Structure 1
Amino acid sequence: MKLTGVIIDCASTKFTDSATGLLKIANETIIERQICLLKQVCQEIILVTNEPHQYLPIVGSSIRIITDYFKGSGALSGMHAALSLAKSDSLLVVTPDMPFLSVQVITSMLKDKIETGVQLVVPESQGQLQLFHSIYDRSCIKSTEKLIEEQDAGLVNILEHVSFKIIRNEDLLPISYRVQSMEDYQRAIQFNETNKIS
């Protein structure tokens, strides 16, 4: 089954002058790390951002860059845009502040989606559902449209409208790590050096 990798730039926390995905770990930006890894398992990669000028010098034409259809709905808007334009029926959705994606976890999640036929496969780490680094079916677009119309709904509310499977494994902790502060960034650099991740 084909898979589209989607990077949704919806970060509400901004602690640097540039986008978080442009921070460097081991001499490459987080988004470059993501693209390199996603190319191993995805036939298409989409970046959803309303500030494409920040990323173009880094990613060039190596991936598709699209913008939200609906403004002001955060991750739901980005999700809707990706679900509308993706070429695959399955979409892995992440954010550009996640430096430790996993090919092994992604491959396992896609297998689970195929075997169970659910619309969403979502990891659970430290008791929290990780709606980013999850695999969504394109059929989720109807649910995202409904939630956008409700205006006060968030991405977590999609669980009320779709069939899903939760995967639980303590080894999932690194993939759920997000860089949302300078302290997070320093910890990510240290973790990368300690674990020799490149």
Structure 2
Amino acid sequence: MLTGVILAGGKDRRMQGNPKALLPFGPEKLIQRQLRLMQPVCSELIVVTNDPKPFLRLLEPEIRIITDFVPNQGPLGGMHAGLSLARNRDVWLVGNHMPFISSQAAELLQERKHEGFDAALPLVQGGIYPLHGIYDRSCADLIWSLLQGGEPTLNRFLKVLYWGELHETIFQENGIGSGFIESFSRQEEYERLLRQYDASFCDLEKFDSSDINHHGRL
């Protein structure tokens, strides 16, 4: 069983204050699209946000909407809340800036995690993508210690987390393109990915990310 968590916090200053999760992407809002893509492999879906009101009006009642336990701590604050309240042991964490997330990739990452790791992360084009990873629910305790110690950064988290990578060749062997890790943080990047979506009709296997810059990797 898998819990899907979308981190939908942040002030989105570089998007003129427009929440990424509520931007249109094709015929639906981006958050609706992400939840739809996660649903086939997730028995539980959670949205972590600092402002629940827009999501309460938009999402189905079975979607759990929660807020950070400790506000203003960046992605780790949202990750801590999602992991802490997940009902399943395996948790698929994604950022709300990733339109092309892949449930097939998540299943492969879950298999990798079960080889004895606390988390499994994709290694694609030389970068690690912690916001498309599978985590053990117990990672919440590790994040809490970082929050309490004043070190709430993803880089620090990865240094103390026991994680295993899954190389992009494994995804390719399973017919999964690298587009699932694409993300945006600025208006022009959003518009570029939206154009790419329109051109490909969102067929991820046909999605060609070779001309798009990567902004979500570490």
Q: TM-score, normalised by structure 2?
A: 0.84
Say if 1:19 and 1:54, in contact at 8 Å, map to a contact too: no
Distance 1:18 1:57, change over 3 A: farther
Q: Deviations 1:125-161 (Å, cap 9, x if unpaired)?
A: 2322101010000121221011101213302212222
5+ residue gaps, structure 2: 204-218
Q: TM-score, normalised by structure 1?
A: 0.92
Paired-residue identity, %: 31
Alignment of 1:29-40 (within 5 A): 29-40=29-40
1:144 corresponds to 2:143: yes
SS in structure 2 at match of 1:135: strand
How far the C-alpha of 1:12 sits from its partner, in A, is 5.2
Equivalent in the alignment of 2:180: 175
Name the CA distance, whole Å, in 1 between partners of 2:97 and 2:62: 19
Q: Deviations 1:75-129 (Å, cap 9, x if unpaired)?
A: 1111111111100001000111111011211111111112x12001011223221
| One-letter amino acid of the counterpart of residue 126, structure 1 | Q
Q: Which has the higher contact order (CA 8 A, sep 6+)?
A: 1
How far the C-alpha of 1:71 sits from its partner, in A, is 1.5
Which moved further from structure 2: 79-88 or 147-156? 147-156
Alignment of 1:3-42 (within 5 A): 3-11=2-10, 13-14=12-13, 15-42=15-42
Say if 1:147 and 1:153, in contact at 8 Å, map to a contact too: yes
**Number of residue pairs matched by the alignment:** 196
Name the CA distance, whole Å, in 2 between partners of 1:160 and 1:181: 28
Equivalent in the alignment of 2:131: 132
5+ residue gaps, structure 1: none
| One-letter amino acid of the counterpart of residue 108, structure 1 | L
How far the C-alpha of 1:17 sits from its partner, in A, is 4.3
How far the C-alpha of 1:59 sits from its partner, in A, is 1.0
